[in-house]
Amino acid sequence: MRKRAPSADAEFEYPSPPEYIEPSIRKEAAAWQGIDEFDALVRLEEMTGLEAEVERVYMSPEMWGFTFTSRELKRCRIHLNEELPHFWQRFAFFHEIHHLLHDSRGCYFWSQTQANMNGFEYQADQFAWAVLMPEWESGEVE
């Protein structure tokens, strides 16, 4: 796949951390805190039985990531917007992991737009924030 060079005019709007994260999500996220992408994929594969991979591709600033899943082939691919800074790619990555763990519809899309977020999107955001909150609070955000 041909990749595009990062665009200097990409305008992302980054969400602020939530004031409250549900305790059950905070508890689940604790096991994912501080691990790198490879270890997260290994854990995801163990938990779902799917062969998982990540691909960084050009997307508009409105699309941060999506996951395509083939339960028949036992594979999934998390697509991340390559123009996002590293921290926000990790945010989208863990958001998609939550979908793979809890939402069995098969193909998921997440846009940065906060309007009309359904429960699955809200919970996936909560999970991503809970995983990454220690990085956010320590100032490790790029």
Tokens of 78: 């998390």
Domain enclosing residue 65, as ranges: 33-136
Instruction: Establish if 141 belongs to a structural domain.
Output: no
Number of domains in the chain: 1
Instruction: Establish if 118 belongs to a structural domain.
Output: yes
Instruction: Establish if 12 belongs to a structural domain.
Output: no
Instruction: Establish if 85 belongs to a structural domain.
Output: yes
Residue type at position 109: F
Q: What is the pLDDT along the chain (142 residues), one digit of tens a residue?
A: 444 544 555 689 899 999 999 999 999 999 999 999 999 999 999 999 999 999 999 999 999 999 998 878 899 999 999 999 999 999 999 999 999 998 765 444 444 444 445 788 899 999 999 999 999 998 867 6
Instruction: Establish if 26 belongs to a structural domain.
Output: no
Tokens of 28: 């689940």
Instruction: Establish if 25 belongs to a structural domain.
Output: no
Query: pTM of the prediction?
Result: 0.84
What is the rounded CA–CA span in Å between residue 48 and residue 4?
32
pLDDT at 112: 42
pLDDT at 38: 97
N-term to C-term CA, the chain: 27
pLDDT at 70: 86
User: 4: alpha, beta or left, given left = phi > 0 and alpha = psi -120 to 50?
Assistant: beta
pLDDT at 124: 94
Instruction: Establish if 128 belongs to a structural domain.
Output: yes
